[in-house]
A and B are shown apart, each in its own frame.
Chain A
Amino acid sequence: GAVVSQHPSRVICKSGTSVKIECRSLDFQATTMFWYRQFPKKSLMLMATSNEGSKATYEQGVEKDKFLINHASLTLSTLTVTSAHPEDSSFYICSAREGGGAGEQFFGPGTRLTVL
C-alpha cells in the first residue's frame, strides 16, 4: 500500500522557536495533503488542506500565519509551527491522497510536538 512518512516523529522545543514537520509520500504522487491535529483522547481536527503548487486552505479558527504549510512538490508537504507556545503541544498527523476529490487518504505516523 501507499506509504506516508513524517519527520521528525518527536520534537521538543523551547517556547518562541519555530518547528518544521515534513510529510512525504514515498511511493506515490500526492496531489492533496491534509494536516490534522489530535489532542489526547480526542478525534482528529483538520487544520488545512494543501494542494501541490497552490496555497493551503485553512479550516476556520486555524491561524495561517502560525501554522505555515508548504506543498512544493507532489511528494512533500511541510508544516511549520511558528513562534511555538506550550498550547501548541500536540500530535500532528498528515495524510496524502493521490488524486483530487474524494477517496482514500494515507496517513503518516504522526509527530509529537512538545513545547516547553
Chain B
Amino acid sequence: AQSVTQPDIHITVSEGASLELRCNYSYGATPYLFWYVQSPGQGLQLLLKYFSGDTLVQGIKGFEAEFKRSQSSFNLRKPSVHWSDAAEYFCAVEVGTNAGKSTFGDGTTLTVKP
C-alpha cells in the first residue's frame, strides 16, 4: 500500500523567508501527487498537483513543487512566505489502481513569525 511521509511536524519561518516543506512517498510506480492547505476549522484547498510531464509544477498563492522520481519526493516551496500562509499543509498521493483513493501525510504545521 502506498504511504506518504511528511518528516516535519512543525516548521516556523520568518515572514519574507523562503519555505520548503518535505514530502516523500512510497509506491512502486509514479502516483498522482497533491499538496493541500488547510486553515483552522476549514476544509482543504488544492495548492498544486502533479500527474505527469514537467516535474516542476506551479500552484496557487506563489507555491511550487518539484517531483523527483529518484528520491520519491514532492517537496513544496515558496520563495517568500507571507503571514497569511500560516496553516496546515498536507501532501497526498493517489494511485489509479486504488479506486482513486488518496493517502494523506500527517501534515506540517507552518507558523510564520512577523
Contact = CB atoms under 8 A, between A and B. Distances in A.
A43 B90 contact: yes
B101 interface: yes
Given A49-B99, A103-B32, A44 B104 contact: yes
A contact residues, range: 20 to 34
Interface stretch (B11-19, B39-47, B61-69, B73-81): B39-47
A78 interface: no
Contacts of B104: 43-44
B100 A104 contact: no
A71 interface: no
Interface residues of B, number: 24
Main secondary structure of the interface of A (DSSP, over half): strand
Contact of B101 (A41, A46, A93): A46
A4 B107 CA distance: 22
Contacts, number: 55
Nearest to A2: B46
A104 B51 CA distance: 10
B100 A100 contact: yes
Contacts of B102: 34, 46, 105
Contacts of B87: none
Contacts of A110: 41-43
A109 B99 contact: no
A112 interface: yes
B46 A103 contact: no
Contacts of B105: 43
The residue among B34, B45, B104 with the most chain A CB atoms within 10 A of its own CB is: B104
Interface of A: 4, 6, 32, 34, 41-44, 46, 49, 57, 91, 93, 95, 97, 100-110, 112
Interface of B: 32, 34, 36, 41-46, 49, 51, 90, 94-96, 99-102, 104-107, 109
7 contacts: A32-B100, A43-B90, A102-B94, A103-B94, A104-B34, A110-B42, A112-B41
